[in-house]
Amino acid sequence: MFATATESQTITLQGQNGPMDLDGQPTNYNDFRDQLNRDGYAVIKGAIPRDRADKYADAFWSYIEDFGLGFKRDDPSTVKRDMLPVINEKGMILNYGVTHEQWVWDIRGEPGVIDAFAKVYADDDLIVSFDVVNVGFANREDLPANKPWPHQDQDPSKPGFRCLQGLVNLNPCGPNDGGLIVCKGGHVLSEQFHREMADEPRIPAWTSEWYGFTDRGMKWLSDHGLKWEKVCAEPGDLIVWDSRTPHYNVPPTMKQDRLAVYTCYMPVKDVSQEDLIRKKDAFEKRLGTTHWPNARHVAPNNDAMRDGKLCPKNRTGPVQDPVLNERTFTLTGIPYIKESA
Ligand SMILES: [Fe+2]
């Protein structure tokens, strides 16, 4: 679609009905999509109403307390490794089947969250990842340092916009609080970066859908005028970013803990029947995936290892087996499996 601003100046505007290109060009959606297209990320304010966001935060804290290891949300002295479930240095709870807890599924089913992705893809037929949750405690000293690991979550050999990532923020998250930091506009220069930096030795990755930026890569980004920005958000806000946008997370430096649930959706039309069958199996076994909703990688189990041994509080599935409604069940992808598949 073309819109003529003046006779001498023509601005190309993206079609308002098709999927977004995320090409950095000006758009006039008059919502979060304009920022997303320009900067490679955006904040959708109040994607979840505050009262429900607070309820989810409460469920998140109760979940951690109910491991019965001694953690109490109001007692900072209980923020200790032995009093908490296994949480990695980046704040992620990866195990225990947490990805299929009822409160996590309820967040995935929030209309304001789904709607943001549906708008970007211009598609209501979406499936969701079985991704993890993140809790970053302020002033935590008994964890290895959370070193910056700037990366993109997309295979550099497959350029172009392919996947929108997201996280639902559940605690106030200001400039000095822990959370997502992004390289603003990095999505636009992604193809050029990988062309010009093709000879750079790769940081080892367990999946081709991950690329780590080396010091030389970081210098390239800086030399091309790109700047890093800590993303701030309130409880109930949804943060979305193009998988090509370089990003990582920073630990809290003040008193505020971080609570976030990753939510990522993609159109079912971009997914094969084989992917859907693998995803169904992951759902039925209550296993997790990466942020990619096509379930290319499924966790082999839910086992949490503590000092080389199975955590005494290990569990093979969620505490509360989820009851899905019609919308959330559709997001598993299962209804899209053809009978002959
Ligand atoms: Fe990432």
- Tens of pLDDT, residue by residue over 209-254, are 999 999 999 999 999 999 999 999 999 999 999 999 999 999 888 8
Closest CA to 41 of 112, 147, 108, 116: 116
- Residue 242: the pLDDT is 98
Separation CA 325–CA 311 (nearest Å) = 32
- Residue 268: the pLDDT is 98
| CA 86 to each of CA 91, 136, 228, 291: distance values in angstroms, whole numbers, following the listed order | 10, 12, 30, 20
The alpha carbon of 153 and the centre of ligand 1 are apart by a number of angstroms equal to 5
Taking residues 200-217, report their average pLDDT.
96
The alpha carbon of 186 and the centre of ligand 1 are apart by a number of angstroms equal to 14
The alpha carbon of 229 and the centre of ligand 1 are apart by a number of angstroms equal to 15
126-156: pLDDT as tens digits: 999 999 999 999 878 777 777 899 999 999 9
Q: What is the pTM for the complete model shown? A: 0.93
The alpha carbon of 219 and the centre of ligand 1 are apart by a number of angstroms equal to 20
Q: How far is CA 279 from the centre of its chain?
A: 18
Given a contact cutoff of 8 angstroms between Cβ atoms, the answer to whether 36 and 117 are in contact is no
- Residue 5: the pLDDT is 38
The alpha carbon of 283 and the centre of ligand 1 are apart by a number of angstroms equal to 22
The alpha carbon of 240 and the centre of ligand 1 are apart by a number of angstroms equal to 11
pLDDT at 6 over 60: no
The alpha carbon of 245 and the centre of ligand 1 are apart by a number of angstroms equal to 9
Greater confidence (41 vs 4) lies with 41
> For the domain 31-336, what is the CATH superfamily, name and number?
q2cbj1_9rhob like domain (2.60.120.620)
Taking residues 111-121, report their average pLDDT.
98
- Residue 197: the pLDDT is 97
User: In the chain, what percentage of residues exceed pLDDT 90?
Assistant: 88
Amino acid identity, position 316: T
pLDDT at 1 over 90: no
- Residue 17: the pLDDT is 73
User: In the chain, what percentage of residues exceed pLDDT 70?
Assistant: 95
pLDDT at 256 over 70: yes
The alpha carbon of 290 and the centre of ligand 1 are apart by a number of angstroms equal to 10
- Residue 61: the pLDDT is 98
- CA 317, 298, 186 angle in degrees (round to 5)? 120
The alpha carbon of 165 and the centre of ligand 1 are apart by a number of angstroms equal to 8
pLDDT at 76 over 80: yes
pLDDT band, very low/low/confident/very high, at 339 (cuts 50, 70, 90): confident
pLDDT at 296 over 50: yes
The alpha carbon of 206 and the centre of ligand 1 are apart by a number of angstroms equal to 13
Provide φ and ψ at 57, rounded to 5°. Answer: -65, -40
The alpha carbon of 164 and the centre of ligand 1 are apart by a number of angstroms equal to 11
The structure tokens listed for 101 are 């807890």
The alpha carbon of 152 and the centre of ligand 1 are apart by a number of angstroms equal to 6
The alpha carbon of 29 and the centre of ligand 1 are apart by a number of angstroms equal to 26
Greater confidence (147 vs 174) lies with 174
The alpha carbon of 162 and the centre of ligand 1 are apart by a number of angstroms equal to 14
The alpha carbon of 103 and the centre of ligand 1 are apart by a number of angstroms equal to 22
The alpha carbon of 193 and the centre of ligand 1 are apart by a number of angstroms equal to 18
The alpha carbon of 291 and the centre of ligand 1 are apart by a number of angstroms equal to 8
Given a contact cutoff of 8 angstroms between Cβ atoms, the answer to whether 100 and 130 are in contact is yes
Taking residues 265-277, report their average pLDDT.
97
pLDDT band, very low/low/confident/very high, at 9 (cuts 50, 70, 90): very low
The alpha carbon of 250 and the centre of ligand 1 are apart by a number of angstroms equal to 12
The alpha carbon of 208 and the centre of ligand 1 are apart by a number of angstroms equal to 13
31-62: pLDDT as tens digits: 999 999 999 999 999 999 999 999 999 999 99
